[in-house]
C-alpha cells in the first residue's frame, strides 16, 4: 500500500525529484482514499519536508542515506500498522510518525 513511495525513491535515485514525486502522489492519494488519507498525508509531508530542506542546496551522500532511512522508516511503520493492526495501533503509528516528522524539521 505505502511501499510504492520507497520504490519511487529507489527507481529515481533518491533525488529531490523522487521526493517531490512521492509528495505529489501521496497528496493525490490522500484526496481520493479517505480510509488512508492521514497516512498518505504524513508521507507527503515527510517527502515535501525533504524537498524544502534540500532544494538547490548541496547534500552529502551520508545525508541522502539518512533521509532515505528516516523516510522509509515512516513508510514501514505506517505500512505495518495498516496491514496488521486495529484502529488503536494505526492511530499510534500516525502519532509517532507525525512526531518524528515534526522533529525532523
Instruction: Render pLDDT for 6-65 as a digit per residue (tens, 0 to 9).
Output: 999 999 999 999 999 999 999 999 999 999 999 999 999 999 999 999 988 899 999 999
Answer yes or no: pTM beyond 0.85: yes
How many independent structural domains does the chain possess?
1
Domain interval for residue 13 = 4-104
Give the helix ranges, DSSP H, for 1-105.
Answer: 4-11, 16-32, 37-54, 61-84, 87-104
Confidence grade of residue 1 (pLDDT, cut at 50, 70, 90): confident
Sign of CA pseudo-dihedral 28, 67, 85, 7:
positive
Amino acid at each position: 500500500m505505502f511501499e510504492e513511495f520507497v520504490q519511487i525513491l529507489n527507481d529515481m535515485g533518491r533525488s529531490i525529484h523522487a521526493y517531490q514525486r512521492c509528495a505529489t502522489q501521496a497528496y493525490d492519494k490522500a484526496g481520493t482514499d479517505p480510509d488512508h488519507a492521514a497516512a498518505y498525508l504524513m508521507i507527503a509531508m515527510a517527502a515535501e519536508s525533504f524537498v524544502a530542506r534540500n532544494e538547490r542546496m548541496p547534500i552529502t551522500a551520508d545525508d541522502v542515506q539518512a533521509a532515505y532511512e528516516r523516510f522509509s522508516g515512516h513508510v514501514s511503520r505506517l505500512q505495518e500498522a495498516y496491514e496488521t493492526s486495529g484502529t488503536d495501533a494505526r492511530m499510534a503509528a500516525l502519532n509517532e510518525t507525525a512526531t518524528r516528522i515534526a522533529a525532523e524539521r
